[in-house]
Each structure stands twice: as structure tokens, then as C-alpha cells.
Amino acid sequence: MASPLADRIRPSTLDEVVGQTHLLAPGKPLRRIIESGQIPNMIFYGPSGVGKTTVARIIAEKAQMRLHKLNGTSASTADIKAIVEEVHSFAGYRGILLYLDEIQYLNKKQQQSLLEHIENGSITLIASTTENPYFYIYNAVLSRSTVFEFKSVEPEEIEKAVRRGFSILSDEYGEQANVSDEALHRIAVSCGGDVRKAMNSTELCYLSAAVENGVRVVDESLAASLSQRSSMQYDRQGDQHYDIVSALQKSIRGSDENAAVHYLARLLTAGDLLSACRRIMVIACEDIGLAYPQAIPIVKACVDMALQLGLPEARIPLADAVVLLSTAPKSNSAYMAINRAMADVEAGKAGSIPRCLQNKHFDGEDAAVKGQFYKYPHAFPGHYVAQQYLPDTLSGTVYYEFGDNKTEQAAKAYRERMLALYGNNK
């Protein structure tokens, strides 16, 4: 059985790698390290199909060391123990290079078993992961390694790989491919920065293309039909999920409704309706808040409607909510107030509740002054009376500061007018 085109076309030199110029262009840090021949422990972090494994293999082929390859999805403690046992054997006298793909799937004990040997240099570790290493890799391993972040490959770079893929397929099958520029662009754009997906689409397009006069014709419609869903890089438990919901919130906070609608579309295209609903409700309270408090019940109504409708119709009320929030005035005053108050409570700054606010009950015999002495504000002019509400230890503390938007400034003016008129109520 033939291997996938993505493996057959895999680069053998750094110059053949598409993308990652921030790491691999002449003079860039990772390239300098590789060319020096002194390979440190490294972790390659980034989405699938962007060259992590390819670069690690190129390094492994250049290193004059005993090479072992493991994959975190299938590696066992026995596999790691067998490698460690070679450290002091003749086979490992020049050092051992361990290429560990998907390291995030190894448990803490498995990762710990490598510590001593990667620290003293008898084993050099090159690991790759699609998850944030600072969350998924044991700290002691992380502190002994250098992390390099790989990024999604731009469509212009992917087009080069797609052209090369069609050329290789033509040589292998003996039939030339007539590929339109539009088809090349569609494949490159639809893969979402994943070169492996682009190669899979390239192979499918070549094999399913109609043959005319001994030439396989690949046009845009064929490319669209075979790559229309391949652009989705999404994992509800992984970095892609958190990146998209973060981008959605930051776009709304930044009042960019077009970007916000784009990230909403990415969540909904992946079928993640629940995450979209939760995040939009949080944004209404955190980022719009008291600047436009009516947004909160409006967004809640949109979310309720979306959950009742389900996809695909749910996209309509959610789009209404996202555009509303993006174009609304912004305030995080209440959000900051609760954060400050919780920080005090967690730091032990609480104190006894003033007696006038406590639930009615009898005072103990040791109480110097008996009685609750609560003043009922509605019984006073302006429905206001001055009395202490915060505990003694926090008296005078300010958590909430009025925002500079119209709604909160109106509330501030009302407060100041009320204090001026009724602040001396007794």
C-alpha cells in the first residue's frame, strides 16, 4: 500500500520546508542551532501539519547519534526503559537522540523517567506537541528544554507545496495534470494552514480528475468539492478551541464586529454551539456591562432562541447578539469591582458584618450596646439614609468606579445629587 502523498513529498532539507521562516530562514535561531551540530533538548509546539515532525526528522538524520523514535499515543514505560538502558551500552556511547512525537500523551511518570538522562546529556530529547507545552508537559522536562513555536503556514507558501505535489503525482502515474490557478489557490486556502491536509486534497484532486487527451484536468469546482471542509482546525479540548473563543471575545471587546462574526462562524461551523452561547453571555456581562445593561437580557434571549432552534438556524440570533455587543458602548466597571472585592475576601479582608445589617436576633449578655439599630432607607426622604454597610476593617473601601459611558455617568450624577440633597438624613 502506497504511503500518503504527504509522506512521499516530505522535505529532506531545511530549504525544502515551507513556512516557519521565523525559525528556519538563514540566520534565524533554530536554523543556527541545527547548523551548529550541538543539539539541545527541544520541544516543537504548534498545530498539525506545519512541519514539526519534518524538521525533527531532518535534525535526527543529521545527528551522529543513536536515534530512537517514539509516539506518545503508543509509547509505554517499557519502551522508555529500553532506551534508557542503552545509555551506558556500546550502542549509546556517542549519545542517544530521542524523537518523541505527541509528548503530551505521556503521563507524568513516563516523562519523569527521562529527566536524569536529558539533564546530563546522555539522551537528547526532541519532542513535538500540538498542545500548549506549558499546560501539558511536566515542568521539570520543560525547564530542561527550549520551546520553539511553529505557526500555521500561509497560503502562498502552501501553493508551492501543492504545485510540487501535482508534479510528483504526474511523474508517478505518468499522466500530466492541468491545474488551474484558481484550483491551486482553493486547495491552499482551504487547508487552514495545514500542509498535510493540502497534500491530501492534492492527491484526491489528481486521482479523481477527469482525463482529457491523456491529461488530468483539475479545476476550481473539483478542488472546492474535495477541500470544502478541510480548513477547520478545531479541537474542543485543545488550543484551537481556546484561541477561537479568546479571539471572539477580544474582537467584540475591541468593537470589531466583522472579526467577531468571523470567529463566531468558526465556532458554529465546527458545531460548537454551546461554547459560542456561553462565551457571548460572559462578554455581555464582562465587557459591555453597565454601559448598556439592556444588552444582558437581549443576549440571554438570543442565546435561549439559538438553543431552541439548534444549528444551522441558531447562527441568526447569535449573529444578532455578536453584532449588538460589538457595536455597543463598553464598560468593565462591575467586572473589576467584583474582582477587587473577591481579592480582598480571599486575602482574609472580611471582618464582622455591621450589627445594623445582621439578621434580627437577640444580643448576648456581653454586648455593650443591645439592639440592631438598622435604618430602613425607604422610611427616609429620597429613600436614602447614611449608615455603615462595609465591615469596620474595610470602611471607606472603593471597589466600583463609575465608567465614563453615558449610562454610568447618569448613575453617578444621580448618586451625587442624592447625597447633596439627603446625605444628612438622620
Return the pLDDT at 254: 94
Out of 235-249, 260-274, 279-293, 320-334, pick the least confident: 235-249
What is the tens place of the pLDDT at every residue in 269-284?
878 888 899 999 999 9
Count CB neighbours of 256 within 10 A: 15
Return the pLDDT at 399: 93
Out of 26-30, 85-89, 125-129, pick the least confident: 85-89
187 with 157: CB under 8 angstroms? Answer: no
pLDDT of 190 higher than 70: yes
| Cell 455587543 -> residue | 325
Question: Exposure of 238 by Cβ count < 10 A (0-12 exposed, 13-18 middle, 19+ buried)?
Answer: middle
Count CB neighbours of 241 within 10 A: 16
CA torsion 373-378-383-388 (nearest 10°) is 20
Distance CA 94, CA 92 (A): 5
Q: Which domains does the chain have, with CATH numbers?
A: 20-149 (3.40.50.300), 155-227 (1.10.8.60), 239-327 (1.20.272.10), 353-422 (1.10.3710)
Helix (H, G, I), strand (E, B) or coil at 101: strand
**SS3 per residue for 11-39:** CCCHHHCCCCHHHHCCCCHHHHHHHHCCC
What is the tens place of the pLDDT at every residue in 328-376?
999 999 999 999 999 999 888 888 888 788 776 655 555 555 556 788 8
Question: pTM of the prediction?
Answer: 0.59
What is the tens place of the pLDDT at every residue in 104-121?
888 888 888 888 888 877
CA triplet 188, 189, 191: central angle to 5 degrees?
A: 75
Question: Exposure of 86 by Cβ count < 10 A (0-12 exposed, 13-18 middle, 19+ buried)?
Answer: middle
| Cell 481556546 -> residue | 242
pLDDT of 1 higher than 50: no
